[in-house]
Amino acid sequence: MAAREWSAVLEAPGRLVLRQFDVPRIGPEDALLRVERAGVCGSDPKFYHGNLHGYTLPIILGHEEVGTIEDIGETAAQWYGVKKGDRVIVGGGGGCGHCYYCLKGQQKFCQDRRSFATCCDVPPHLWGAYGQYMYLPPNAAVYKVPPEISPEAAVLLNAVIANGIQWTRMWGGTSIGDTVVIQGPGPQGLAAVIAARESGAGAIIVTGLPQDHERLRLAREFGAHYAVDVEKNDLAGLVSELTEGRGADVVVDVTGSPRAILTSIELVRKGGTMVQAGVTGATTETPVRMDTLLFKEIKLQSVFTNSPEATRAAIKLAASKRYALEKIVTHKFPLARAEHAVKTAGGEIPGESPIKVIIDPWME
């Protein structure tokens, strides 16, 4: 193993560069991951442009990854049930294990969380997956991945497929025969389609824009009954027709668009559930008619990430081979082109229409 490794570092808004770091020595409770693939999240372009606040630069982006255990402490190996050479995916980060939120089982809100988006000036530096290696702190969420799952499918499991399961089934409550509307046909929306189908939804409606024709086609392949271009078709009319005027049982909004969010609230039936999962940006305000929520008794469920249960379900789903998850990945770049990868994911490269962008840190 080399003494130093390369990572892509966001030094300032609009500046993503390669830097070398010392590979850290691993203690009893931590581990080192050799990154096989890193996913470019839809939030990464917002990080890149400085539209998400609460983080101290410089940081190594990347919270979606699959890799192999390069080194691991004896205690950590016992905790996770893995050893050097095992293939794993990693959750968004581990908690301290002692604060109010950790003791409530909500480690994602840990008050002393050291994980992705920790400033990379803080040792041991390798806090993100945009690199050849990534540090795994004590209490990280580590899950073994079967070798038969391809890298392109495995990199989607924790932060895409598990999100779809958590948001659509676990928090959305999708059940047999339900009418489900999924606003946005990106990777998260496609994962929601799969989760809705696996939950037995009776009608799955996915929405998009004219440029989303390939995403909408893939949504139908994954089980959507209707793929709607909202600029050409009457979405509200379709939902009303399918539900005898009641509205959808569940609406999952992953667009990050204030306009779509307002539409989603209108589409939910009385007593239904709207899951708000799209990142709009730290300074974006969305005016909501609170009386609509009040008189319809809508359950408005905001979401941030997923749970261990959803991640384990995602791994089993991928291993079943029922869905060609690899088709979600449309663009792959080497680490040296990480900035281009982020811009591609953000729709900033003319002529490119990505669904999911990933980084292979060992690709020439």
State the helix-helix crossing angle for 213-221 and 187-198, rounded to 10 degrees: 20
Q: What's the confidence (pLDDT) of residue 136?
A: 94
The proportion of the chain whose per-residue pLDDT surpasses 90, expressed as a percent, equals 80
Put the strands of the sheet holding 179-183 in their side by side order.
226-229, 203-208, 179-183, 248-253, 268-276, 299-302
What's the CA gap between 163 and 83, in Å, rounded? 27
Using DSSP bridges, classify how beta strands 203-208 and 226-229 pair: parallel, antiparallel or unpaired: parallel
95 pLDDT band, cuts 50/70/90, is confident
State the helix-helix crossing angle for 258-267 and 235-242, rounded to 10 degrees: 20
- Provide mean pLDDT across the span 300-310: 90
- Provide mean pLDDT across the span 243-262: 94
Q: What's the confidence (pLDDT) of residue 20?
A: 96
Alpha helices in the chain (DSSP H): 44-48, 74-80, 100-103, 151-154, 162-164, 187-198, 213-221, 235-242, 258-267, 290-296, 308-320, 338-345
- Judged by DSSP in three states, 209 sits in coil
172 pLDDT band, cuts 50/70/90, is very high
Query: In Å, how far are 7, 33, 68, 81 from 84, measured between CA atoms?
Result: 22, 9, 7, 11
Angle at 276 between CA 117 and CA 252, to 5 degrees: 120
| 201, two tokens | 């939804």
What's the CA gap between 164 and 169, in Å, rounded? 8
- Lowest mean pLDDT, pick from 124-138, 221-235, 276-290, 306-320: 276-290
The C-alpha torsion from 162 through 166 and 169 to 170, rounded to 10°, is 140
Name the β-bridge partners of 8.
18
Task: Provide the 10 A C-beta neighbour count for residue 77.
Answer: 18
Q: Domains in the chain, please, with CATH?
A: 4-144+324-360 (3.90.180.10), 163-302 (3.40.50.720)
- Residues with Cβ within 8 Å of 125's Cβ and at least 6 positions away in sequence, in order, are 7, 21, 22, 24, 60, 135
Is the pLDDT reported for residue 364 higher than 90?
A: no
107 pLDDT band, cuts 50/70/90, is confident
Q: What's the confidence (pLDDT) of residue 104?
A: 85
What's the CA gap between 58 and 44, in Å, rounded? 14
- Lowest mean pLDDT, pick from 66-75, 87-96, 198-207, 208-217: 87-96
Q: What's the confidence (pLDDT) of residue 222?
A: 98
pLDDT tens-digit readout, 48-92: 999 887 789 999 999 999 999 999 999 999 999 999 999 999 986
Q: What's the confidence (pLDDT) of residue 1?
A: 46
